[in-house]
Amino acid sequence: MALIRHLKAWSRRPSELPAVPPLKGVLLADPAAFQVVECINPHMTSEDGSLNRIDAAEARKQWQALKDAYCRIGLEVAVLPPVPGLQDLCFSANPSMVLPLPDGAKEVWLGRMAHASRAAEVEHHRRFFASRKYAVREMPESVARFEGCGDGLLHPGRFLLHAGVGFRSDPGAWQIIADAHPELDVLLYELQDPRFYHLDTALAPLHETSALWVEEAFSPEGKALLQAAFPTLIPIPLEEAMNFAGNAHCPDGKHVLLQAGSPIIERKLQEAGFATIALETGEFIKSGGSVFCLKQSF
Q: Which stretch binds ligand ARG (CB under 6 A): 46-54, 76-84, 90-98, 253-261?
A: 90-98
Q: Which residues contact 133 (CB under 8 A, 6 or more apart)?
A: none
Within residues 218-277, the interface with ligand ARG by CB under 6 A covers: none
Closest listed residue to residue 294, CA positions, set 254, 241, 248, 243: 248
For ligand ARG, the binding residues in 29-48 under the rule CB under 6 A are 40-41
Which part of the chain contacts ligand ARG (CB under 6 A), choosing from 78-86, 193-201, 254-262, 263-271?
Answer: 193-201
CA 277 – CA 264 distance, rounded (Å): 14
Please compute, for residue 150, the number of CA atoms within 13 A of its CA located in the half-sphere on the CB side.
Answer: 32
Cβ-proximal residues to 288 (8 Å cutoff; 6+ apart), any chain: 40, 41, 42, 43, 44, 197, 201
> Is 293 a binder of ligand ARG (CB under 6 A)?
yes
Q: Residue from 28, 59, 69, 93 that binds ligand ARG (CB under 6 A)? A: 93
Interface with ligand ARG by CB under 6 A: which range of 86-94, 178-186, 224-232, 257-265?
Answer: 86-94
Phi, psi of 147 (to 5 degrees): -105, 50
Q: Is 91 in the site for ligand ARG (CB under 6 A)?
A: yes
* Using rule CB under 6 A, residue 287 touches ligand ARG: yes
**According to CB under 6 A, which one of 121, 170, 185, 200 is a site residue for ligand ARG?**
200
For the CB of residue 203, give the shortest distance to ligand ARG in the complex, in Å.
Answer: 11
H or E element that contains 265: helix 263-271
Query: Per rule CB under 6 A, is residue 195 in the interface with ligand ARG?
Result: no
Phi and psi for 269 in degrees, rounded to 5? Answer: -65, -45
Nearer to ligand ARG, 129 or 284 (CB): 284
**CB-based burial label for 56 (10 Å; 0-12, 13-18, 19+):** middle
Position among 289, 291, 297, 298 found at the interface with ligand ARG (CB under 6 A): 289
Q: Which residues sit at the interface with ligand ARG, rule CB under 6 A?
A: 40-41, 88, 91, 93-94, 150, 198, 200-201, 287-289, 293
